[in-house]
Amino acid sequence: MKKVLLLTNADYDNVGDQMIEACDRALLQAAFENLGVLDETEIISRGVSLISTDYVKQQDARLLKEAEQAVKESDLLLFGGAPVFNYRYESFYEKTATWLSLAQKYDKPVIFSAIGVEHVEENNPKCQRIKQALHDANVVMVTTRDGLSQLEWYVEGLDLIAEKVADPAVYTKEIFTPYLAKEKEEKSVGIFILRANGFLDNGHDFTRDDAARLWLDVMEKCKENGYTPYLLTSGFAADEAFLDYMIRHYHVPKENCIFNVNTPEDLVYQISRMEAVISCRLHPGILSYSLGVPAVGIQWNPKVKMFYHEIGYEDRAIPMEGIDSVLLWERLQEAMGDVAERDEIRAWHTYETLVEGVRKALYPKNREAVWSREEFLERIRPYPGTTKEDYEKKLEAKFRRAYVTYNNAFQKGQKLQKQLDETKEKAKNSHEHALALKEKNLRLQEKVTRLNARNVELKGKLKDARRELNEVYSQSLIETVRNWRKGKKEHEKQDS
């Protein structure tokens, strides 16, 4: 039995990442069936974050044991759909490089399928780290949903499949058919918001409250045109926290807000019941594209622009510069009048390259032809649904990440409180020291006053002494002159 270790961000509460994992599974199962090895191949799905941030920070080998065991027991590592090269404000790049090091250690082939490659800085040590890890490991295929030129820099000189494909979630309609809404809510617009500092973290001078005012304006624009707006998220806890902020601080009615999108089924249902979608997050836009729901995106991240460019509607990715509700509504109206249709050839190419990658990595002697688009669409299997056990695990993981945020905030608060207490103590000591210095200064001033008085007294005595001395000197001089004259006269008498 061949074991494929499927590595995604499915353990994150962003349901877009869970959608990728679900679609990857469906495409992989189709690929195994296509190659005639469905009963010989098993998918083991784990999160990329099995290599934890704690390991990245501490480099403690004990924290790597579970991931190392997973690699050791697998026959192929397959990274599916996530932005695993991300290096700007997340540690994905280091986790990916560590996975590749483990694959190299145990001589396991590696596939990257439809991953996000958004940026590259050739002289950045983080980019160099990923590039070197790719060259050291046995990587047989890397396909991207984003930037092919960026990908080509990473893999230059390697003998592998490197191509641009569609995100696996473009097959949402087929894979999630059982979970589509039975009917749409007439004149409804779903507005998928982004966490409070999401724009700032991606280099845009657009604060939490700038975003809040934009969403309020967009909601008002929807209402002016007879549409009911709904603020919602794709499940990420930080996005939901901002949604709660909108309710508490900007008085957005609760009935216009949708919480608890915690599974792929939830996300598919919410999008499929809307007449149109405005989204910051990428995957609500991709799902809308698959389901035939008119949508526009906001360019908080390059991947949004890349997606809309690839489907032929780049103008539906709204730049942050000069963004406002009027522009968003105009573009949304255009989208409602010209719904984007899925590029079937590009979508199928995602499946085709996956089949060839699996063949090359695990079954090089297999000669089965790749299914046609029509056969693939007929035979792809629907998502079986989130089990109660999986749902509870998702919620537990989501809550525990929220607890981490709370605990970090608490620790930061404690640290700040300690600093405040220390500052107060220093201020108190400084105040007491200042009072002591003030008291000492008063004593010195009194001493100076006494010395000044003594100085004045001494000056007076000195003046009197000088006067007496002058008088004595003058009297003595007069007496001396008188005696001299008297002596002179006596001397003259004697001479005569």
Q: Rg for the chain (alpha carbons), in Å? A: 41
- Minimal CA–CA distance to 248: which of 207, 208, 221? 208
Q: What mean pLDDT comes out for the span 56-70? A: 94
Judge whether 2-166+343-384 and 175-337 match in fold: yes
Q: What is the pLDDT of residues 272-306, one digit of tens each?
A: 999 999 999 999 999 999 999 999 999 998 899 99
Confidence of residue 476 (pLDDT cuts 50, 70, 90): confident
Reply yes or no on whether the pLDDT at 251 is more than 90: yes
98 — pLDDT class (breaks 50, 70, 90): very high
Position 82 scores a pLDDT of 75
pLDDT at 88: 75
Residue 116 scores a pLDDT above 90: no
Handedness of CA 245, 248, 250, 253 (dihedral sign): positive
Whether residue 51 is predicted with pLDDT greater than 90 in this model: the reply is yes
- Name the least confident of 41-45, 274-278, 463-467: 463-467
Residues 2-166+343-384, CATH architecture: 3-Layer(aba) Sandwich (3.40)
pLDDT for 23: 97
In this prediction, residues 128-135 reach a mean pLDDT of 93
Q: Which amino acid is at 147?
A: G
Query: At residue 228, does pLDDT exceed 80?
Result: yes
Of residues 364 and 402, more confidence is placed in: 364
* Winning range, highest mean pLDDT, from 216-220, 432-436, 463-467: 216-220
239: which 2 tokens?
A: 């996005």
Annotated domain spans of the chain: 2-166+343-384, 175-337
Instruction: Evaluate if residue 481 carries a pLDDT over 80.
Output: no
Q: For the residues 462-473, what does the mean pLDDT come to? A: 85
> Quick one: pLDDT at residue 89?
64
Q: With contact defined as beta carbons under 8 Å apart, do 20 and 167 qualify?
A: yes
When the pLDDT of each residue in the chain is averaged and rounded to a whole number, the result is 93
Q: 64-73, 387-396, 432-441, 468-477: which range is least confident on average?
A: 468-477
What's the CATH superfamily of 175-337?
Glycogen Phosphorylase B; (3.40.50.2000)
Least confident of 38-42, 342-346, 454-458: 454-458
Looking at the predicted structure, is the pLDDT value of residue 194 above 80? yes
Q: What is the pTM of this model?
A: 0.83
Mean pLDDT calculated for residue range 460-467: 87
> Nearest CA to 146 among 154, 137, 138, 157?
154
The mean pLDDT of 447-466, rounded to a whole number, is: 89
Most confident among 194-203, 290-299, 416-425 (mean pLDDT):
290-299
Helix residue spans in 251-387 (DSSP H): 264-272, 282-291, 302-310, 325-337, 344-362, 373-379
Q: How confident is the model at residue 496 (pLDDT cuts 50, 70, 90)?
A: low
The confidence score (pLDDT) of residue 181 equals: 97
Q: pLDDT tens across 362-385, in order?
A: 999 999 999 999 999 999 999 999
Q: What percent of the chain has pLDDT over 70?
A: 99
**Residue ranges of E strands in 198-325:** 228-232, 257-258, 276-279, 295-298, 317-318
Average pLDDT, integer, range 212-232: 98
For residues 318 and 474, which has the higher predicted lDDT (pLDDT)? 318
- Tell me what the mean pLDDT of segment 68-97 comes to: 88
Give CA–CA dist 332/225, Å, rounded: 12
pLDDT at 155: 92
Q: Is the confidence at residue 479, as pLDDT, over 90?
A: no
